[in-house]
């Protein structure tokens, strides 16, 4: 299962407001409060186990989003594979 598929299942599992709060707390713990060992917020890094973004997973993710009718907000300047709270509009 891809990260996008897992995220979709999770987002369908409960109340949107509650899930948003949970994800916000998890995001802060992982990416903002990680201390000396931060988690890199890009899917390619985790899927390929290499510290490089823009690998095959980002292209698979773009296709997944395209098929789902989800498009990146033009104001979001990072890669689609970034685990951000609200990259899509």
Convert the pLDDT of each residue in 42-76 to its tens digit. 888 888 888 888 888 888 888 988 888 888 888 88
DSSP, collapsed to helix, strand or coil, labels residue 44 as helix
pLDDT bucket at 89, cuts 50 / 70 / 90: very low
Could you tell me the end-to-end alpha-carbon distance of the chain, in angstroms, rounded to an integer?
Answer: 24
Convert the pLDDT of each residue in 18-35 to its tens digit. 888 888 888 888 777 777
Q: CA 69 to CA 63: how far, in whole Å? A: 10
Per-residue pLDDT for 85 more than 70?
A: no
pLDDT bucket at 84, cuts 50 / 70 / 90: low
């Amino acid at each position: 299962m891809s990260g996008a598929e897992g995220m979709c299942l999770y987002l369908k599992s409960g109340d949107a407001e509650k899930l948003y709060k949970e994800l916000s707390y998890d995001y802060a713990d992982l990416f903002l409060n990680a201390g000396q060992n931060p988690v890199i917020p890009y899917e390619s890094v985790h899927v390929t186990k290499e510290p490089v973004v823009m690998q095959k997973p980002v292209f698979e993710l773009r296709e997944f989003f395209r098929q789902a009718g989800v498009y990146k907000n033009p104001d979001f300047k990072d890669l689609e594979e970034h685990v951000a709270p609200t990259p899509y509009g």
